[in-house]
């Protein structure tokens, strides 16, 4: 697996792992891959704490950060107070959400729970502060934008510090736009992937993107959790893999316990793309929550960032109660790809990496034997 992308990032294996959990990020980097921390939902103070911890855990191993800076948003992204940001949310949506929580018996938050952080603070000043903070860390080798081309200031700031920039693409057009903006790597993310994803499958998308952006390195994402799938990705022209779902059932993952158990029991057909969490199509586990938003009498999800603002407190209530309240347990879910059907046990991150590498080598050796006619 001695690919140019692996050498570019200084890795033992060209396996990149996106996670919101710092434990997963650190464990992947220690095992020879590149852990990539999702930072969009963090405040600068929280991010500083997370990065301090990762720095201590990984030593001189590299890691990365992933942020979500969409090119287009609906509604205001900055205002003097929370009420001003929430004002565009229609009363119809508030009534529907209140009724849904009442139907499932989800209790309110306790009085001492606190106001919580504004969900999806996507204004550029906030996101810029996070990126600039991350770029201060010598271990950060990569910054990635998960939704749209990285803004010019992000690319310039990263390159000034010798840090590489990646962006996720769901179409050839997206990939070309990223390269024109100046990215160093393109992540071709297929339809099977968890989270925000497009409508073209990985098997089709990866070779198209590889051809379109050559010689810029491409990483394959979507439906990759084994060495066989990694070998297939490299056969398609990718120089490494970008993984996410497979880490959600590891020992280190902070996945909600009820959700983790749902993942272990789910099949590959138990996910769907839904706008009900972020306002943009994002693949997640089907649950009573997604079913409710699919009903014909339900209002359409609001565009980003209004949908996250609408449901922010509701999700805090659901996740807080899912441990012991059946209605909340039925609603709770999380972003995950179709590969969830192969996630059958809870293992340490290092064991997952080792099995992926071993499986990859066995697959390549088998192909070589077949090629030689053995």
We report the CATH number of the domain holding residue 49 as 3.20.20.70
For residues 130 and 178, membership in a common domain is answered with yes
CA 188, distance to chain mean position in Å, is 13
State which residues form the domain around 15. 4-73+121-253+360-371
Whether 337 is in a domain gets the answer no
For residues 191 and 237, membership in a common domain is answered with yes
Q: Please, what is the end-to-end C-alpha distance for the chain in angstroms?
A: 23
Q: In the predicted model, what is the mean pLDDT of residues 114-119? A: 56
pLDDT band for position 230 (50/70/90)?
A: very high
What would the pLDDT profile of 65-88 be if each residue is shown by its tens digit?
A: 999 887 665 455 554 456 777 889
Whether 342 is in a domain gets the answer no
Answer whether residue 306 shows pLDDT above 90: yes
Whether 355 is in a domain gets the answer no
For residues 125 and 247, membership in a common domain is answered with yes
Query: pLDDT value at position 87?
Result: 86
Query: pLDDT value at position 127?
Result: 86
Answer whether residue 260 shows pLDDT above 80: yes
Contacting residues for 138 by C-beta, under 8 A, at least 6 apart: none
Whether 168 is in a domain gets the answer yes
Give the range among 29-33, 116-120, 203-207, 344-348 with minimum mean pLDDT: 116-120
For residues 97 and 55, membership in a common domain is answered with no
For residues 189 and 42, membership in a common domain is answered with yes
Give 147-181 as a DSSP string: SSPPPHHHHHHHHHTT-EEEEEESSHHHHHHHHHH
Q: How far is CA 293 from CA 155, 290, 300, in A?
A: 37, 5, 7
Q: In the predicted model, what is the mean pLDDT of residues 243-252? A: 98
Query: pLDDT value at position 109?
Result: 93
**In this structure, are residues 367 and 232 in contact, taking their beta carbons and an 8 Å threshold?**
no
For residues 226 and 165, membership in a common domain is answered with yes
Q: In the predicted model, what is the mean pLDDT of residues 5-29? A: 98
Structural domain count of the chain: 2
Query: pLDDT value at position 284?
Result: 98
For residues 35 and 161, membership in a common domain is answered with yes
Give the range among 62-76, 296-310, 311-325 with minimum mean pLDDT: 62-76
Query: pLDDT value at position 124?
Result: 63
For residues 325 and 274, membership in a common domain is answered with yes
For the chain, percent of residues with pLDDT exceeding 70: 94
Q: Which residue has the higher pLDDT, 111 or 293?
A: 293
Whether 236 is in a domain gets the answer yes
**In this structure, are residues 204 and 170 in contact, taking their beta carbons and an 8 Å threshold?**
no
Whether 348 is in a domain gets the answer no
For residues 129 and 212, membership in a common domain is answered with yes
For residues 93 and 207, membership in a common domain is answered with no
Whether 89 is in a domain gets the answer yes
For residues 210 and 239, membership in a common domain is answered with yes
Whether 153 is in a domain gets the answer yes
For residues 107 and 125, membership in a common domain is answered with no
Average pLDDT, whole number, for the chain?
93
What would the pLDDT profile of 40-70 be if each residue is shown by its tens digit?
A: 989 999 999 999 999 999 999 999 999 988 7
């Amino acid at each position: 697996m001695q690919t140019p992308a692996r050498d570019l990032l200084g890795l033992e294996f060209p396996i990149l792992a996106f996670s919101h959990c710092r434990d997963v990020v650190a464990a992947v980097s220690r095992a020879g891959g590149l852990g990539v921390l999702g930072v969009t939902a963090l405040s600068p103070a929280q991010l500083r704490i997370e990065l301090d911890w990762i720095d201590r855990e990984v030593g001189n191993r590299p890691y990365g950060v992933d942020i979500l800076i969409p090119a287009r948003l609906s509604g205001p992204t900055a205002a003097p107070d929370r009420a001003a940001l929430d004002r565009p949310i229609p009363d119809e949506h508030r009534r529907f959400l209140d009724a849904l929580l009442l139907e499932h018996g989800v209790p309110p938050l306790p009085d001492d729970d606190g106001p919580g952080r504004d969900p999806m603070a996507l204004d550029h000043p906030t996101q810029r502060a996070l990126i600039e903070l991350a770029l201060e860390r010598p271990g950060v080798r990569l910054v990635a934008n998960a939704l749209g081309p990285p803004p010019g200031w992000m690319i310039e700031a990263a390159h000034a510090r010798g840090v590489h920039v990646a962006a996720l693409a769901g179409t050839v057009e997206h990939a070309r736009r990223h390269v024109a903006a100046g990215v160093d790597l393109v992540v071709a993310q297929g339809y099977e992937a968890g989270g925000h994803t497009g409508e073209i499958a990985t098997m089709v998308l990866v070779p198209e993107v590889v051809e379109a952006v050559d010689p810029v390195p491409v990483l394959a994402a979507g439906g990759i959790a084994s060495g066989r799938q990694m070998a297939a990705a490299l056969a398609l022209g990718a120089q490494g893999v970008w993984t996410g779902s497979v880490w959600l059932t590891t020992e280190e993952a902070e996945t909600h316990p009820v959700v983790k158990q749902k993942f272990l029991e789910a099949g590959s057909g138990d996910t769907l793309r839904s706008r009900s969490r972020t306002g943009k199509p994002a693949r997640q586990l089907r649950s009573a929550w997604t079913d409710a938003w699919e009903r014909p009498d339900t209002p359409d999800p609001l565009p980003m960032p209004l949908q996250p603002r609408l449901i922010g407190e509701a999700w805090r209530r659901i996740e807080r109660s899912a441990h012991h309240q059946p209605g909340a347990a039925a609603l709770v879910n999380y972003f995950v790809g179709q590969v969830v059907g192969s996630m059958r046990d809870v293992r340490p991150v290092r064991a997952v990496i080792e099995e992926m590498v071993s499986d990859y080598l066995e697959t390549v050796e088998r192909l070589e034997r077949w090629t030689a006619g053995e």
